[in-house]
Structures are given as structure tokens and as C-alpha cells.
Structure 1
Amino acid sequence: MEHVPYQEQETEGAPRVAAADGSTVRPLAALPGLGSLARFELAPGAVSRAVSHATVQEIWHVVQGGGRMWRRQDGRAEVTELHPGLTLTVPLGTAFQFRADPAGPPLHVVAVTMPPWPADPAAEAAEIRPETGPWPPTIGS
């Protein structure tokens, strides 16, 4: 078995980077070939860009704030109300867009990506596919 180093990361110490959908992401940890964990943040009233992924699927868990998540796959679309404690999936190829409620705290989501999010900038650029969602984006345009 290949040696994989241990990782530890405090959320507050993690770098803040702009995700392709316009949200702020804090990469937290990854296991090679298996998955990665990150915390996504969206300011009150903000609306992400609609995207889909080429190779990555995700599991989301809302930890703070509220909002809505639109998902479309195989001709079926739905909007889910986001609230703390809710967990949802974004299967491979699903178009999705999310928005934070205008009143209240920022929307914070912890997400697992499988396989891990690409570290190489060229692979990361190829991962994101722009989509048309139900709401005009306010960030990441």
C-alpha cells in the first residue's frame, strides 16, 4: 500500500479561492484518487453561475445559511430549498446553480468531490462546463 501523508486543515486557515461558479471555496483536504473536501461560501443574495462537471460528482452538506439549489439531469430539473443540516448530491453531468437567501447569514456548504478536484489549472478549466440556469448570476460572470 502506498504511503499517504496525513493532512490537517483548520477552515479559517484554508486559502480562499474563487470557484468557477463564482462562489468562494476553501480547499480543506484530499485523498489521491478518492475524493476531496472543501467549504463553499456564498454571500447573502448572491447567485452562482450555472455549471456542470466533466468528471467530478459531489455531495453537499449545508452548515449555515439558506438558499436554493437548481439541478438538471436527463431532462429533469428541480429546485431544492437549502437549510442547515440538509445533504444533497450532484451526480456526474448534472447542471446546477445555487443562490443564497438575501436575508440572513452567508450560505456555507461543505462538499465532498469524487474524484478529487483537479489540481492542474488546465484540467480544472476542462472540468467546468458552462450551463444555462434559471437565475441570472450575480457573481463569477
Structure 2
Amino acid sequence: MSFATKRLGELPDATAPDGSEVWVLCSTSQGSLAHFTLPPHAVSKAMAHRTVEEVWYFVSGCGQMWRLSHDHEEIVDVEPGVAITIPVGTHFQFRSLSHEPLTAVGTTMPPWPGESEVVTIDGIWDPTV
């Protein structure tokens, strides 16, 4: 058994398929943790995941998250202190509505398998990233 410890770096590790900046944090065999940032007034690309589900907790900025699963669709306001779920197969898109970045910490279960995980879909807003 080993332990992992990681501090948030100054520069992102990658750009997510949705266009947000990603800082990869720790992972285990059951899940992974990352820090996501969407620039001020930016709109992500719309996505769906093939096999993973996620839980996001917003820590700065304000914006909106659109989710669609089967016949259930909603847009929710997100800001620090709000947590949301993204079940497997859910179509989702998010946007920043503030002068500061929209930032969230997200857990992916099982751990992020790679770029082939993503299905690009049509969202409700025009992406800007």
C-alpha cells in the first residue's frame, strides 16, 4: 500500500475535452480527483461520459450547469458551496457567468480512463473554449 500527496500546481496539467483547464490531483483504484477551471465568461463544450460518473464541488466563481439524461433536463446555478452529480451517460455543459474563473473540484469514479471516454454532443450554449 502506498499513499499519495499532491499540491495544486501553478500551471494546469492538461486541457479537458470540454475545454476547461485541469489539475490532476490524487487517484486510487476506485476514483480520481481533479481541479477544473473555466475562464471568466467562458462556455465549455458539451460532453457525455461513456463509463464514468462524477461529483463536482464548486469553489469559486459563479455560473450554470446544464444536464440532460433521458427525459430529465435541468439548468442549475453553481457557485461556491454547490455540489452536483454527473451520472454515466449524462449530457452536460457548463458556463462561467462571473468576472472570475468558475472553479470546481471533481471526483471521477472509476478513475479517468482517457480521451476515448468522452462523447462530444450538441449543448444548449455555443462553446467559447
TM range (shorter): over 0.9
Residue 105 of structure 1, CA deviation: 1.3
Q: How many residues align?
A: 129
The structural deviation recorded for 1:76 is 1.7
Q: Please state whether the residue corresponding to 1:9 is helix, strand or coil.
A: coil
Give the alignment's Cα RMSD to 1 decimal.
1.2
**Runs of 4+ deviating beyond 4 Å:** none
Q: Highest CA radius of gyration, 1 or 2?
A: 1
The gaps in structure 1 that reach 5 residues or longer are 119-123
Distance 1:15 1:136, change over 3 A: closer
Q: Which residue pairs with 2:101 in the alignment?
A: 106
Structure 2 residue corresponding to 1:50, chosen from 46, 64, 67: 46
Sequence identity of aligned pairs in percent?
42
Instruction: Tell me the TM-score normalised to structure 1 length.
Output: 0.87
Deviation digits for residues 43-93 of structure 1, max 9, x if unmatched? 001100000000110000000000000000012211000110001100111
Work out the CA distance in 2 between the residues paired with 1:112 and 1:80.
19
Q: TM-score, normalised by structure 2?
A: 0.95
Kindly indicate which of the two structures has a greater share of residues assigned to helix. Answer: 1
Aligned in 2, Cα 1:46/1:15: closer, same or farther, shift over 3 Å? closer
Match of 1:82 in 2: 78
